[in-house]
Amino acid sequence: MQKGSGLFFLVRLKTVEMYTDGACSGNPGPGGYACIILYKGRTKILRGGEEETTNNRMEMSAVISGLQALNERCSVLIHSDSKYIIDSIEKGWLEGWIRNNWVKSDKKPVLNVDLWQKLSELMEKHEVTFEWVKGHAGDKYNEMCDSIAVEESVLRGGQQNS
């Protein structure tokens, strides 16, 4: 594009939806996560877990795994039942933690800094919107994520009723 030509190009991003959930037996204890990615009628399921973790870490790992799976900049709508994640983003807590060198307003250190840093980095690569979905309320994809996350927790020694 030449300077002053008045021409510009609008790049339309691919629109992707994600459903995420985490589960943990014991909290801390064995945990699992799941992310379901929906794009143009296709579905991709990501799953994983850790032998010793927390529910919040698994919730965050689900979101991170989904964003890491994207090969290009996208517009992403993430459905999550995690108030921890949603409130941290929507209420500006994450921005404040970054500004305050990972110290909360109560002067205590932020937990899970490693995952917050990774999530923040990934969110800069995409246009991300979060939407809270009530857990265990019949949402098809949220229920699927919950079931998969619990399976992953059980594979690592967790209890089925996580």
**R_g over Cα of the chain:** 17
Could you list the active site residues?
21-22, 59, 81, 136, 146
What is the pLDDT, as a whole number, of residue 3? 55
What is the pLDDT, as a whole number, of residue 4? 55
For the chain, the average pLDDT equals: 94
| 149/143 Cα distance (integer angstroms) | 10
What's this model's pTM, rounded to 2 decimal places? 0.92
CA distance to 85, 87, 91, 97, per residue, from 103 (Å): 17, 16, 16, 6
As given in the structure block, the two tokens for residue 1 are 């594009």
As given in the structure block, the two tokens for residue 8 are 């510009």
Whether the pLDDT of residue 59 is over 50: the answer is: yes
What confidence category does residue 162 fall into, taking pLDDT thresholds of 50, 70 and 90?
Answer: very low
Whether the pLDDT of residue 160 is over 70: the answer is: yes
How much of the chain exceeds pLDDT 70, in percent?
A: 93
Neighbours of 66 (CB within 10 A): 24
Domain residue ranges in the chain: 14-83+127-155
Mean predicted confidence (pLDDT) in 8-28: 91
Whether the pLDDT of residue 1 is over 70: the answer is: no
| 9/151 Cα distance (integer angstroms) | 46
Instruction: Determine whether domain 14-83+127-155 maps to CATH 3.30.420.10.
Output: yes
What is the pLDDT, as a whole number, of residue 159? 87
Whether the pLDDT of residue 161 is over 80: the answer is: no
CA distance to 55, 67, 75, 160, per residue, from 12 (Å): 35, 18, 9, 43
The 3-state secondary structure of 65-126 reads HHHHCCCCCEEEEEEECCHHHHHHHHCCHHHHHHHCCCECCCCCECCCHHHHHHHHHHHHHC
